[in-house]
Each structure stands twice: as structure tokens, then as C-alpha cells.
């Protein structure tokens, strides 16, 4: 976890200093226990705000059939796709009951504002 934002987990993203940090808006835009989709360049990213205060970011589209993950049921550390009930880990995007994976992104909160880290090759 970052010392500046203890409620936001910081997974081990190697080369994190190389990420471009994109501001997406206030944490207040996302209700507790829910997700919201943000368009960052051409990429749709779902940001989830758990009731515990933790915040996670994943690709917003389920790889199975394109379900909107931001509209899924959010649990302690999972999201359930609203189309076919596939479960994904919010921590790393791996399928919990399936063989699919969605990309996860580092997310930080600074003074109440959310920032998503994009790797150098995705900064368009």
C-alpha cells in the first residue's frame, strides 16, 4: 500500500514508475460497493470501490461475451459479470471459476481523486 493512500491497495506492478498516471475524477463518482466504467483513451476501464474503501481497476469488458464488468456484482475481492455470472479477482483480474483473465491496473487516490496507471505502450 502507498503511504499516502492507505485505503487503496497497490499490487506489485513491476516498473510502476514507468506508468503514466491518468486522472479519472473524484472517488465520490463511485458509490460504495459498486463499479463505474471510465474511458481512458480508447480503453474502457472499470474502477471498483469496495465498502471497505479499497479501490481496484480492471478492463471493463468481460472476455467471455463482452459483458460490462462495472455493472457486475461486487464482493469482498471479486466481481461477477452480469451477463453469464463469471467471477474475476479484483486484485489481479484472473478468472476464479473460468479460464479467462482481464487486465488489472494500478490505481491510486490522491486528495480524493483517482488515478489509473497505464503502461507506456498503452498511453494513447
Whether the predicted pLDDT of 37 surpasses 80: yes
Q: Which domains are seen in the chain, by residue range?
A: 30-114 (2.102.10.10)
CB 78 within 8 A of CB 96: yes
> Which bin fits 59, alpha (ψ -120 to 50), beta or left (φ > 0)?
beta
Whether the predicted pLDDT of 11 surpasses 60: no
Task: For the chain, state the CA radius of gyration.
Answer: 13
Mean pLDDT of 44-56: 96
Mean pLDDT of 8-33: 76
pLDDT digits over 96-110, tens only? 999 999 999 999 999
Q: What is the mean pLDDT of the chain?
A: 87
Mean pLDDT of 46-66: 96
Classified as helix, coil or strand, 16 is: helix
Q: What is the structure's pLDDT at 17?
A: 59
Q: Which residues contact 10 (CB under 8 A, 6 or more apart)?
A: 1, 2, 16, 106, 108
pLDDT digits over 58-95, tens only? 999 999 999 999 999 999 899 999 999 999 999 999 99
Q: What is the structure's pLDDT at 4?
A: 34
d(CA 36, CA 49): 9
pTM: 0.82
Amino acid at each position: 500500500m502507498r503511504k499516502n493512500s492507505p485505503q487503496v491497495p497497490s499490487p506489485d506492478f513491476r516498473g510502476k514508475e514507468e506508468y503514466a498516471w491518468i486522472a479519472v475524477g473524484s472517488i465520490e463518482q463511485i458509490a460504495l460497493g459498486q463499479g463505474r466504467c471510465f474511458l481512458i483513451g480508447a480503453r474502457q476501464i472499470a474502477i471498483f470501490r469496495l465498502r471497505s474503501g479499497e479501490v481496484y481497476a480492471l478492463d471493463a469488458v468481460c472476455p467471455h461475451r463482452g459483458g460490462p464488468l462495472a455493472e457486475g456484482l461486487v464482493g469482498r475481492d471479486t466481481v461477477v459479470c452480469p451477463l453469464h455470472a463469471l467471477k474475476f479477482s479484483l486484485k489481479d483480474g484472473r478468472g476464479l471459476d473460468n479460464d479467462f483473465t482481464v487486465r488489472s491496473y494500478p490505481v491510486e487516490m490522491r486528495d480524493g481523486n483517482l488515478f489509473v496507471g497505464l503502461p507506456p505502450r498503452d498511453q494513447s
